[in-house]
């Protein structure tokens, strides 16, 4: 399914609610967020591009113009190295059509262009079969199983996947 990605805007709160406020969507991400947490997240996403190198995009289905998911990356210190960590999501009605994979490939291309970090990592839960499949398909290398803190204060058993950006 062809998609494009665009920076997050003030009009994208309904999409954020459908993703981060939904128990199914947040099963591997620490559970649904409260209205206050969603509002904070919206403010953070809107400002990201102005204040640093982290990026959050909405994923748009090209044929319909509909917003169907997110992809984003942020800077993180991991095992002593400055890296990008990337994550993605697709609304349930649109899953299984290659949307997250295609959107993630576009976001990786942008991170490559900025040339800031050698490595991009993804930390899907070991039980998140589609996300682990996406990492494999996009050429990430499986480094190890590890404990990863997401959201803050909650630890998940994850796979550490790494991609060379340059
Ligand atoms: C993970 C998620 C983004 C996948 O979205 P999607 O748009 O359906 O993903 P895609 O269609 O691009 O790719 C899914 C891949 O997983 C594969 N897959 C799906 N279910 C699978 C399973 N049970 N076992 C193995 N592979 C599976 C698909 O075959 C596909 O690979 P392919 O393109 O080689 O056929 C979506 O399920 C989601 O939003 N989940 C909730 C949020 C989340 O967990 N985000 C991950 C944070 S790292």
CA distance 43 to 132: 29
Which residue's CA is the closest to the ligand 1 atom numbered 19? 130
Q: Evaluate: CB of 130 within 6 angstroms of ligand 1.
A: yes
Q: Residue 57's pLDDT is what?
A: 98
Q: Evaluate: CB of 125 within 6 angstroms of ligand 1.
A: no
Residues with Cβ < 8 Å from 20, sequence gap 6 or more? 26, 29, 32, 33, 37, 38, 41
pLDDT at 28 over 90: no
Residues with Cβ < 8 Å from 95, sequence gap 6 or more? 130
Pairing of strands 141-149, 155-164: antiparallel
pLDDT at 19 over 90: yes
- pLDDT tens for 76-129 read 999 999 999 999 999 999 999 999 999 999 999 999 999 999 999 999 999 999
Determine what percent of the chain is predicted with pLDDT higher than 70. 100
Strand blocks (E) in 40-101? 55-61, 67-78, 81-90
Kindly report the number of other CB atoms within 10 A of residue 138's CB atom.
18
Determine what percent of the chain is predicted with pLDDT higher than 90. 89
CA distance 26 to 29: 5
Q: Residue 143's pLDDT is what?
A: 98
pLDDT at 49 over 90: no
């Amino acid at each position: 399914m062809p998609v494009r990605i665009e920076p997050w805007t003030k009009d994208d709160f309904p999409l954020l609610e459908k993703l981060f406020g939904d128990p199914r969507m947040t099963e591997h991400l620490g559970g649904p967020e409260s209205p206050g947490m969603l509002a904070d997240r919206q403010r953070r996403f809107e400002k990201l591009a102005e204040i640093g190198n982290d990026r959050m995009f909405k994923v748009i289905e090209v044929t319909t113009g509909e917003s169907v998911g997110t992809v984003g990356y942020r800077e993180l210190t991991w095992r002593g190295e400055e890296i990008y960590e990337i994550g993605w999501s697709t609304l349930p009605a649109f899953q299984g059509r290659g949307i997250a994979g295609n959107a993630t490939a576009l976001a990786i291309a942008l991170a490559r262009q900025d040339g800031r970090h050698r490595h991009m990592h993804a930390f899907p839960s070991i039980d998140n079969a589609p996300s682990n499949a996406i990492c494999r398909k996009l050429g990430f290398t499986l480094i190890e199983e590890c404990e990863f803190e997401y959201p803050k204060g909650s630890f998940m058993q994850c796979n550490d996947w790494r991609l060379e950006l340059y």
